[in-house]
Copies of this chain bind each other. A is one copy, B any other.
Amino acid sequence: MPLHKFDFPKHISMSMKTLKEVKTSCYLIFKGILALFMLIFGLNPVAFAQNNILVFQSDFGLKDGAVSAMKGVATSVSPNLKMYDVTHEIPAFNIWEASYRLVQTAPYWPAGTVFVSVVDPGVGTDRKSVVMKSRSGHYFVTPDNGTLTLVAEQLGIQEVREIDEAVNRRKDSNESYTFHGRDVYAFTAARLAANVITMDQVGKKLDNQVVSIPYQKAVFENGQLRGSISILDVQYGNVWTNINKKLFNRLNVKLGEDVRVQVFNKNEKIYEGKVRYVNTFGEVKEGADVGYFNSLLNFSLGINMGSFSEKYKVSSGGEWRVVLTK
């Protein structure tokens, strides 16, 4: 601590040199106090890998006390954590959607943010509990069951470690077999976010790979764009594909022109139609189908003031495919 350096001269009559030393001492006190506060309040983002920000995701819903128990455990680790949520309304056991929601939101949070995602149909089986650090500097604490598919692919894998439950497990939780979300994931994530442990202290380092869910990548072949339906924009009923703008441009469809769309579930054709390619829904009349780029800049299908997914019974996931032609 700089404070220890605070030491007045043993003898003074007081010369200008001494005076300067007094000044210096005062400066050191000041610096010491500042350092102390930075330590306490985590104002120094350079000194620490993590930033006291903890973001939760699960399929627990908000009707019971599960999410609150997780946040209570995290608060017990450190009351200085700032806790937020992606969503707790992931459909039960839907790992694909868990993966999607993470990649949809993580890039908008500062590097150092710790995400904890608990969608865990295999709780108690041999799926590993891991922390993945992405190349973007985000941390993901989760069962390694496919939840990391899209963040690994899009943000890159910096490091993966298996959580050592001998150390990183809430005290007095040994007899409890079923709430890993609270006793292992929230506990470890909170300790990581609050700098109680470093990434090294999570557990042993694994290879830089995670369990991945297969799905059709977006490609341009024979004048056709092929891709999958990543997710539904559930609130508005829009359908989001994995076809980005750069790839779409190879179709040479201009704003205001139509694009021909086919949607398949496995091999069954669910929808076929022409949609207007627009910037905003307001450009077409109410009830008209549109194609547009969503906030992630992926090609999406919607209906002005309506629900595309409900009207045409379209859903999302690896088994849903879309084909676009001019």
Q: With A9-B17, A179-B294 given, is the CB distance from A89 to B63 under 8 Å?
A: yes
A75 touches B53 (CB 8 A): yes
A12 touches B21 (CB 8 A): yes
B1 touches A9 (CB 8 A): no
Instruction: Flag A109-139 by CB within 8 Å of B: 1 or 0 each.
Output: 1100100000001111100000000000000
Q: With A61-B234, A63-B234, A297-B175 given, is the CB distance from A28 to B2 under 8 Å?
A: yes
**Size bracket of the A interface:** 35 or more
Query: A176: nearest residue on chain B (CB-CB)?
Result: B295
A8 touches B32 (CB 8 A): no
A55 to B75 alpha-carbon distance, docked (Å): 12
A34 to B32 alpha-carbon distance, docked (Å): 12
Subset of 6 A-B contacts with CB under 8 Å? A3-B29, A12-B14, A13-B14, A68-B85, A72-B108, A177-B280
Known pairs A69-B295, A124-B283. 13 more at Cβ < 8 A? A5-B28, A8-B21, A34-B36, A55-B68, A60-B235, A63-B235, A70-B108, A71-B84, A75-B109, A75-B113, A83-B84, A92-B235, A124-B282
Query: Footprint of B on A, CB under 8 Å?
Result: 1-3, 5-19, 21-23, 25-26, 28-37, 40-41, 43, 51-53, 55, 59-66, 68-73, 75-76, 79, 82-89, 92-93, 101, 104-106, 108-110, 113, 121-125, 175-179, 182-183, 231, 233-236, 245, 279-283, 292-295, 297, 305
